[in-house]
């Protein structure tokens, strides 16, 4: 096994932020960004988490600590939301009190990227609790399901059954959906609660509140009319 001098590890300032490999479809950025924006709302009062999109994760469980693994998205818990009050250029495990990501996400593209073998092995060795592979376009080619969630159990990933998949260590579930506000009706990933209900965005919650108020007004107006009153010309008290 390669011996690594922990006292000679590079700092985040010395390391590139990613492997600079371009994505070959927009889903690789769009899907994890949707998850990030939802978390910004769901956990708006929490400062102990970090979700990144296409950012290098530097660790000491590979052959070279200067070579990052770059998930399409990942979530770490128990770390600063903004490190030192600023933004990270990369996620360097030895500068994060050795907190490894709790969840990593890979969106499979036209060019296979080792999602089902190489990266699965890397994340298992790193100790990532949940590994999510989203493959909406090429799952038949790859002979896998469109969405697979693996949980690390005694060092081995086990495919989880059911969707959305509840992840108790995170306090969230993950699954597929089509956002009602999306004019293109694209399928994306979203967060769910323990009952299996999808968390709504701030925009959706506001729309839902407005619809409820409108329904209440319409019911009240219907009741007043049934009693012989014109809702638009009520007698003054």
- How far from each other are the two terminal CA atoms of the chain, in whole angstroms? 87
97 and 170 share a domain?
Answer: yes
Whole-model pTM above 0.85? no
What is the predicted pLDDT for the residue at 3? 57
Reported as a single tens digit per residue, the pLDDT across 100-133 is: 999 999 999 988 889 999 999 999 999 999 999 9
Rounded distance between C-alpha atoms, residue 86 and residue 93, angstroms: 17
Instruction: Tell me what the mean pLDDT of segment 11-39 comes to.
Output: 78
Element (H, E) at 77: strand 73-77
Q: Which of 127, 71, 95 is nearest to 14 (CA)?
A: 95
47 and 64 share a domain?
Answer: yes
160 and 211 share a domain?
Answer: no
Q: Write phi, then psi, for 186 (nearest 5 degrees).
A: -80, 140
Asked whether the predicted pLDDT for residue 211 surpasses 70, the reply is no
107 and 223 share a domain?
Answer: no
Query: Per-residue confidence at 1, pLDDT binned at 50, 70, 90?
Result: very low
184 and 160 share a domain?
Answer: yes
Residue 164's Cβ-side half-sphere holds a number of Cα atoms within 13 Å equal to 22
Q: Residue 166: CB partners within 8 Å, gap ≥ 6? A: 172, 173, 192, 194, 196
Q: Which domain holds residue 77?
A: 6-199
Tokens of 80: 């600063």
138 and 28 share a domain?
Answer: yes
Tokens of 127: 């100790």
Q: Is the C-alpha dihedral spanning 90, 91, 93, 96 positive or negative?
A: positive
What is the count of structural domains for the chain?
2
Point out the least confidently predicted range of 3-7, 124-128, 196-200, 218-222. Answer: 3-7
131 and 165 share a domain?
Answer: yes
């Amino acid at each position: 096994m390669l011996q690594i001098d922990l006292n000679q590890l590079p700092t985040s300032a010395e390391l590139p932020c990613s492997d600079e490999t371009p994505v070959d479809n927009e889903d690789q950025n769009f899907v994890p960004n949707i998850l990030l924006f939802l978390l910004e709302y769901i956990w708006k009062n929490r400062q102990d988490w970090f979700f990144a999109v296409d950012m290098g994760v530097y660790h000491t469980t590979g052959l070279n600590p200067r070579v990052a693994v770059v998930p399409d998205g990942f979530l770490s818990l128990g770390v600063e939301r903004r490190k030192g009050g600023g933004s990270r250029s990369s996620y360097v495990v030895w500068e994060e009190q050795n907190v490894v990501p709790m969840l990593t996400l890979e969106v499979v593209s036209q060019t296979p990227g080792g999602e089902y073998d190489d990266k699965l092995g890397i994340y298992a060795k790193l100790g990532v609790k949940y590994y999510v592979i989203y493959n909406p376009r090429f799952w038949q080619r790859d002979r896998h399901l469109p969405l697979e969630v693996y949980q690390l159990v005694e060092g081995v990933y086990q495919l989880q059954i059911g969707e959305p998949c509840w992840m108790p260590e995170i306090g969230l579930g993950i699954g597929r959906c089509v956002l009602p506000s999306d004019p293109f009706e694209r399928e994306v990933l979203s967060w769910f609660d323990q009952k299996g209900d999808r968390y709504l965005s701030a925009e959706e919650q506001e729309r839902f509140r407005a619809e409820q108020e409108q329904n209440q007004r319409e019911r009240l107006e219907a009741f007043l009319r049934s009693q012989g009153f014109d809702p638009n010309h009520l007698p003054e008290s």
